[in-house]
């Protein structure tokens, strides 16, 4: 046969033949159909009609009869569980069970429509979830739908053209320098290594500090290695319970090396002399879990006469002090373990205002009027 165009051939008997996707077997294999005509243009027109009919019918029906709940549960447990961190799995499962299943779970997957998802988004907004949380929940659903399409469980995407609310920029809460000094003085009174001091002079996250061992410090090279994180997550086996998980840090870029500064090194060496365990921030001879670190932090804040803030504010304070001292954003991004420089820029754009003013003032000296 002589081919002309997509799936259109001229037969030996002089007629033209076109092939189109007619249906699929229960295993997803394509069943082809054929149209014939006296000329190429006639077959092309017939083929266009048949293709349109198939696209329409595939959007309406598929061989998969499961519900949204059945599919998204399969996707979570069988498709991605082994490739994500346990804390991430717990987070996904919580959002699916609390939000997606109660609202969309009973709908057959192949009958899920864009209108259903848009109604779902309005529901999430009505219970006053933040825009970023709504985005995370809907993106979970989108990922599950994308996998269903890839596996040919459905042939249309109900998430297509769904509009999500814009994520609200989170305000960065950093300590003013005078309050930081007060906090440091109070933290230095702690008998063992203080998570507060480590956070203020490395920018490490609370879970990373919780998992920090003495063996993670290379003293002769002045390096702290961030190799693990400890977090408390909802139990995967007992409803209403929680469990501690020791895992890799948040992302690949979170596994990093941080320079150990001179004074922090001196501070940690003093604490190591009387250390009673292998973890730097110690609790009864073992690691101190994040919620205990937070509890201790609140006590130190109170003793220092500082209004309550989150422990994560210490990470923001570290970054803000670095920017104030002129540390370049690429270097800061590496130290913080951010996935990209853009993330660092977006987070600390306001903090960089004074740095930007200083940069322009330097150039401004060249303008002579």
- 167 occurs within a structural domain: no
Q: How confident is the model at residue 7 (pLDDT cuts 50, 70, 90)?
A: confident
- Residues 141, 225: one domain? no
Lowest pLDDT segment from 71-75, 99-103, 232-236, 288-292 = 232-236
Count of structural domains, the chain: 3
Predicted pLDDT at 182: 96
- Residues 276, 185: one domain? yes
* Token reading at 344: 């660092």
- 275 occurs within a structural domain: yes
- 18: enclosing H helix or E strand: strand 16-24
Q: How confident is the model at residue 361 (pLDDT cuts 50, 70, 90)?
A: confident
Mean pLDDT of 303-309: 94
Condensed to tens digits (0 to 9), the pLDDT of residues 310-351 reads 999 999 999 999 988 889 999 999 999 998 999 888 888 777
Laid out side by side, the sheet with 256-259 consists of 217-218, 223-226, 256-259
Predicted pLDDT at 52: 66
- Residues 196, 283: one domain? yes
For residues 301 and 296, give the distance between their C-alpha atoms in angstroms, rounded to a whole number: 9
For residues 78 and 84, give the distance between their C-alpha atoms in angstroms, rounded to a whole number: 12
Question: Does 247 have pLDDT greater than 60?
Answer: yes
- 33 occurs within a structural domain: yes
Average of per-residue pLDDT values in the chain? 88
- Residues 214, 248: one domain? yes
For residues 128 and 144, give the distance between their C-alpha atoms in angstroms, rounded to a whole number: 24
Q: How confident is the model at residue 267 (pLDDT cuts 50, 70, 90)?
A: very high
Predicted pLDDT at 203: 96
219 Cβ neighbours under 8 A, 6+ residues apart: 260, 265, 269
Q: Residue 264 sits in a domain of what CATH number?
A: 1.10.443.10
- 157 occurs within a structural domain: no
Question: Does 158 have pLDDT greater than 60?
Answer: yes
Condensed to tens digits (0 to 9), the pLDDT of residues 32-54 reads 888 999 988 888 888 877 776 66
Predicted pLDDT at 146: 94
- 292 occurs within a structural domain: yes
Q: How confident is the model at residue 156 (pLDDT cuts 50, 70, 90)?
A: confident
* Token reading at 15: 């007629």
Question: Does 165 have pLDDT greater than 90?
Answer: no
The answer to whether residues 237 and 245 touch, using CB atoms and an 8 Å cutoff, is no
Q: Give the range of the structural domain holding residue 11, as residue numbers without chain letter.
A: 2-60
pTM of the predicted protein model: 0.71
The answer to whether residues 195 and 209 touch, using CB atoms and an 8 Å cutoff, is yes
- 30 occurs within a structural domain: yes
For residues 290 and 242, give the distance between their C-alpha atoms in angstroms, rounded to a whole number: 13
Q: How confident is the model at residue 55 (pLDDT cuts 50, 70, 90)?
A: low
Q: Residue 124 sits in a domain of what CATH number?
A: 1.10.150.130
For residues 207 and 210, give the distance between their C-alpha atoms in angstroms, rounded to a whole number: 5
More confident residue, 364 or 293: 293
- Residues 139, 275: one domain? no
Q: In which region does residue 247 sit, left (phi positive, over 0), alpha (psi from -120 to 50) or beta (all else)?
A: beta
- Using DSSP, how many helices (H) and how many strands (E) does the chain show? 15, 11
Q: Pick from 349, 320, 319, 317: which is nearest to 337 by CA?
A: 319
């Amino acid at each position: 046969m002589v081919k002309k165009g997509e799936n259109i051939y001229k037969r030996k008997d002089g007629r033209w033949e076109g092939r189109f996707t007619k249906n699929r077997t229960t295993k997803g294999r394509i069943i082809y159909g054929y149209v014939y005509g006296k000329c190429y243009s006639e077959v092309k027109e017939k083929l266009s009609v048949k293709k349109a009919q198939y696209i329409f019918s595939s959007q309406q029906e598929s061989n998969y009869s499961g519900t949204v709940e059945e599919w998204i549960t399969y996707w979570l447990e069988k498709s991605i569980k082994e490739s994500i961190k346990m804390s991430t799995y717990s987070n996904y499962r919580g959002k699916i069970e609390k939000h997606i299943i109660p609202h969309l779970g009973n709908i057959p997957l192949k009958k899920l429509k864009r209108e259903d998802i848009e109604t779902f988004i309005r529901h999430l907004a009505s219970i006053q979830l933040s825009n970023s949380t709504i985005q995370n929940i809907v993106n979970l659903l989108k990922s599950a739908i994308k996998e269903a399409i890839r596996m040919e469980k459905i042939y249309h995407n109900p998430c297509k053209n769904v509009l999500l609310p814009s994520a609200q920029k989170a305000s960065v809460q950093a300590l003013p320098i005078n309050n930081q000094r007060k906090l440091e003085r109070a933290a230095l009174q702690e008998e063992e290594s203080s998570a507060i001091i480590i956070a203020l002079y490395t920018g490490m996250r609370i879970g990373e500090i919780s998992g920090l061992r003495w063996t993670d410090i290379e003293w002769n090279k002045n390096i702290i290695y961030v190799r693990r994180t400890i977090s408390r997550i909802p139990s995967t086996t007992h409803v209403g319970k929680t469990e501690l998980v020791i895992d890799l840090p948040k992302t690949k870029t979170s596994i990093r090396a941080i320079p150990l500064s001179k004074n922090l090194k001196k501070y940690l060496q003093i604490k190591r002399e009387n250390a009673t365990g292998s973890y730097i921030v110690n609790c009864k001879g073992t690691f101190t879990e994040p919620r205990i670190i937070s509890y201790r932090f609140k006590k130190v804040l109170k003793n220092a006469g500082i209004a309550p803030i989150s422990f994560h504010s210490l990470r923001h304070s570290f970054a803000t002090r670095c920017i104030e001292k002129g540390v370049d954003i690429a270097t800061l991004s590496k130290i913080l373990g951010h996935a990209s420089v853009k993330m660092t820029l977006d987070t600390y754009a306001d903090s960089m205002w004074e740095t930007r003013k200083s940069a322009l003032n330097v150039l401004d000296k060249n303008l002579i009027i």
